[in-house]
Structure 1
């Protein structure tokens, strides 16, 4: 992060500079740290500027001008989601900042950092990436200003936008610029082109010109016909899942062009990525602890991607539905490293807080119709699947989830001499767990630390259908099995349900149904969230246009008063109070959930 550190590595300059809205923690759960290690592994000298000042470009200049490009990310969360609650109140904390203090990154960090990079390095290519860029890559609804905004590249002074998981794309950017080649056409990227006389991109790379492409509704049409945002989001979801088509959106006389998605990493590539020499610590320049670093230090990422396809979840457009899994050997090797590091500190065997991903029991999950995935290769992207979810309206028969193997992996990790215990903190999908009772018994009896996270989200049938969640009967069956297995294991354990209010299509009466169901079970909810329309999701498009996926009109709690009223109904179960007595609980600020379905 400094010229002195650069010289200590024997570098006289950088090839790539990455700028991030998060503090620098050298852990694979921090995106820019992961990508920096990946670039260095492939021979590109990479530096990182974390949480720079945004009133001057001076912080960008501490290691000089990079040779190839500057990469910009807002960090682990969309910057506006990091700053504001569901009721548009300012948050007072930020888990990705020293001391947990809010305010270390600007609103719309991608825009601000990209413009500062242009000022600092005139003529240098600027590349956007990360979750904020990924989910704002096309026209999108912005909840915090209640407006439909143009694609991010139309406003940011950047040359290219990487969407989705960025390892392949960022490496190809570096290689092309090293060779003096153009950037447009890299899988998993977006760029701006001009429109030709036929209303199509005029300068398509040869690799895309032969295919017809998907014409998305243009920005002007979205403004005139709000329901078209739902169509656009559905088309993007299909593009990501099928993986073989490019797309474009006309915007005010120009075209936002989206290359086909980058292929998911194979098991061998995932193993290589997570074997890089992360020290799993915050940079020594920090004098205060970084909350997220403490939470994640002893966690292990086993896979990425999620087949759930929940309508409110950003994973469908970012990580995708294809699962990329690490091998058991790679995960066990990381567990050994964690244990050895803990023993070296004199702390004894390590307690591994989590072995998981977006959904823990999807490790090594794959579609039986996709060639290569079961053998550890990247998904074939055959393009034949028409489902919006592998789990809704019911779990697809072709969706293979080898949960017994996952349990064997967890047991092998727990048996290591340097490991005290292993937990599954990232949560499990109830409908998948019910498919393999032996695995569910193991999750319950061996790897639950007293509480198991599950996300039913609601209980009203119409709301669950809009969420693409399984019916309540599935969750109740899971609860019965969990209680039975906990008793058999002789342990007092609890399910921690994630619940949501004010979802598009959810009425006040739906919330009363949920509140009555909670009272019947004598549950006081702790993990609650009022729906936040984050950019890019199907649910946000439904919120914006007031229609469900079939085009039928639905009720939307749009005003803050209506949203708060619904949340109060949910929170009234906390102490048996009525709906009018829970305003403080309803407005309680929590760390935002980052998109798990």
Structure 2
């Protein structure tokens, strides 16, 4: 049974007043990959009544009264994706489709959805607590550079005028908050729960906190912004993080408590064992595109210690990888075979990084990850405990289930980690033989070691070593399969010379990417900090950043140097870099002068 979405659903369940109204910018899909569904099901399991207010009309507050006044709180998020990323491309052009909406229809959620929804909920019921969460709130929990406004914005807790913010994966914190509210504690006193951010004018209850540079300082000084970012970035581990405090002058302080403890394997299994329908709600008559890839995919883990500079997963989910048990995933796969739309193919078994199944080392699960160094960059840590045995056993168990024809791996594989496994050849061979559908998608992101340094990605040498192993193992199993590499243009630190180096590499391997991802500065990543400040926040040394439309366009065009429409840009780029000798080599001469 789906969670209630209207008053009639509450009546069928004999619910006079719902405990929580969950507001989301997505269509309601009851699946474990949708945060709203997870939070709703977790609250339901603990005995709380919930209702889903999916994509409410936001021009007035009337839709926020659909279920009547919630007893405990509104829980508000933008959905599975940041509303600004959902609406705008990196060039700030309005997108044409929303994959989280039936029929791809745009404008079913507002820009800055968390702020708008919070305001409307408060208009509807002034005395009901407003609690915000999800990816949009989580990455904006403290002051942050906003690409769309091109300025530093305040904590979204203040902009939304919310009472409390839950950050990260909030299954534990939302239950603690629910129990506290249910016991009669006023929300203004909830300053003790891990994984939350609150506002206050009195710091006397904060123990061992770290004071960030004030909002005024980070708003006016890029150096102070960089200092603030480092403190925030070094306090994302649940075992070693301290409370961090940001001064907003007359508005008081915003305080971030340490993150919630990671889920155990049993707790994560329990989440995926909740009674999800694994379908969009039947009120939607048109397809919701976002369900297609994940409906028959299995999430094996959460968290990532890869720490790519441009990725927000570390800031949102943390570096401690939490893995599910094999039995749990086999059970989920078996259930999939009974679904009316299942065709025998599991699209993916993975997570943020497919081949991470547990923490980087034993210490991380007890004392936390190191705040002063990364696990894989610039070189894999000597204390890494690398073992793919459990992941391979899980893949074997799933592909041997009756009714399953093929199990693919489509989420990212961290190949530098894989190559450090003493059984790497056998692992790659098994992947080639059983888990690739002709093409294996890999994200080296670039080929210039200078650019890769700023991305936090392994070197060109490591990537080429993996490619060679992949090709060798394909020959051994008698298959003709290919790696499809993903590349990024205009990442902070990437120069025109780096882009030309990548173009020459693409020419060498005779590959032109169909799609190129131009760097997108999203809140709270290291790359975005460098983009805004044009410095390395750990050393304060200046970093080149391609910011103008022309600079970014030239780097992007070089990755597709042979396309007719890119002739002028590639020509200009080579001339600007003093590499005119490459013009005839890179540019098809049939396009010359067009």
Q: Secondary structure at the match of 1:136?
A: coil
Structure 1 position 369 matched with structure 2 position 369: no
**Paired residues of 2:309 and 2:454 also in contact (CA < 8 A):** yes
The offset of 1:100, in angstroms, is: 1.4
Aligned counterparts of 1:577 and 1:45: Cα–Cα separation in 2: 56
**Unaligned regions of 5+ residues in structure 2, if any?**
573-594
Aligned counterparts of 2:107 and 2:385: Cα–Cα separation in 1: 44
Aligned to 2:458: 470
Q: Of the two, which has the highest radius of gyration?
A: 2
Question: Paired residue for 2:22, among 18, 33, 42?
Answer: 18
Q: How does 1:163-174 map to 2 (within 5 A)?
A: 163-174=167-178
Aligned counterparts of 1:184 and 1:348: Cα–Cα separation in 2: 46
**Paired residues of 2:438 and 2:481 also in contact (CA < 8 A):** yes
TM-score computed with the length of structure 2 as normaliser? 0.91
Counterparts in 2 of 1:279 and 1:329: CA distance versus 1, 3 Å: same
Aligned to 1:555: 544
Q: Secondary structure at the match of 1:257?
A: strand
Aligned to 1:357: 351
Aligned counterparts of 2:566 and 2:130: Cα–Cα separation in 1: 53
Q: Secondary structure at the match of 2:84?
A: helix
Aligned counterparts of 1:576 and 1:517: Cα–Cα separation in 2: 21
Question: Paired residue for 1:251, among 248, 251, 254?
Answer: 248
Structure 1 position 298 matched with structure 2 position 296: yes
Aligned to 2:468: 480
The offset of 1:349, in angstroms, is: 5.6
Counterparts in 2 of 1:356 and 1:101: CA distance versus 1, 3 Å: same
Q: Secondary structure at the match of 1:410?
A: helix
Q: Secondary structure at the match of 1:515?
A: helix
Aligned to 1:400: 385
Question: Paired residue for 1:29, among 26, 33, 45?
Answer: 33
Aligned to 1:590: none
Aligned to 2:112: 108
Moved more, 232-241 or 515-524: 232-241
**Unaligned regions of 5+ residues in structure 1, if any?**
195-200, 371-378, 584-597
The offset of 1:11, in angstroms, is: 2.0
Structure 1 position 453 matched with structure 2 position 441: yes
Structure 1 position 571 matched with structure 2 position 560: yes
Structure 1 position 216 matched with structure 2 position 223: no
Determine which structure has greater relative contact order: mean sequence separation of CA pairs < 8 Å that are 6+ residues apart, divided by chain length.
1
Question: Paired residue for 1:99, among 95, 99, 103?
Answer: 103
Q: Secondary structure at the match of 1:479?
A: helix
Aligned counterparts of 1:398 and 1:459: Cα–Cα separation in 2: 27
Give the total of aligned pairs: 559
- The structure 1 segments of at least 4 consecutive aligned residues displaced by more than 4 Å after TM superposition are 573-577
The offset of 1:534, in angstroms, is: 0.3
**Paired residues of 1:28 and 1:34 also in contact (CA < 8 A):** yes
Counterparts in 2 of 1:100 and 1:408: CA distance versus 1, 3 Å: same
The offset of 1:348, in angstroms, is: 6.6
**Paired residues of 2:336 and 2:342 also in contact (CA < 8 A):** no
Q: Secondary structure at the match of 2:30?
A: coil
Q: Secondary structure at the match of 2:337?
A: helix
Aligned counterparts of 2:21 and 2:489: Cα–Cα separation in 1: 41
Aligned to 2:590: none
The offset of 1:527, in angstroms, is: 4.1
**Paired residues of 1:359 and 1:427 also in contact (CA < 8 A):** yes
Aligned to 1:197: none
Aligned to 1:238: 234
Q: Deviations over 1:557-587 (max 9, x none)?
A: 112232222211222255796453799xxxx
Aligned counterparts of 2:302 and 2:268: Cα–Cα separation in 1: 9
Aligned counterparts of 2:558 and 2:144: Cα–Cα separation in 1: 30
Q: How does 1:119-198 map to 2 (within 5 A)?
A: 119-181=123-185, 182-194=189-201
The offset of 1:462, in angstroms, is: 1.4
Question: Paired residue for 1:229, among 225, 229, 237?
Answer: 225
Aligned counterparts of 1:247 and 1:154: Cα–Cα separation in 2: 16
**Paired residues of 1:502 and 1:563 also in contact (CA < 8 A):** yes
Counterparts in 2 of 1:42 and 1:545: CA distance versus 1, 3 Å: same
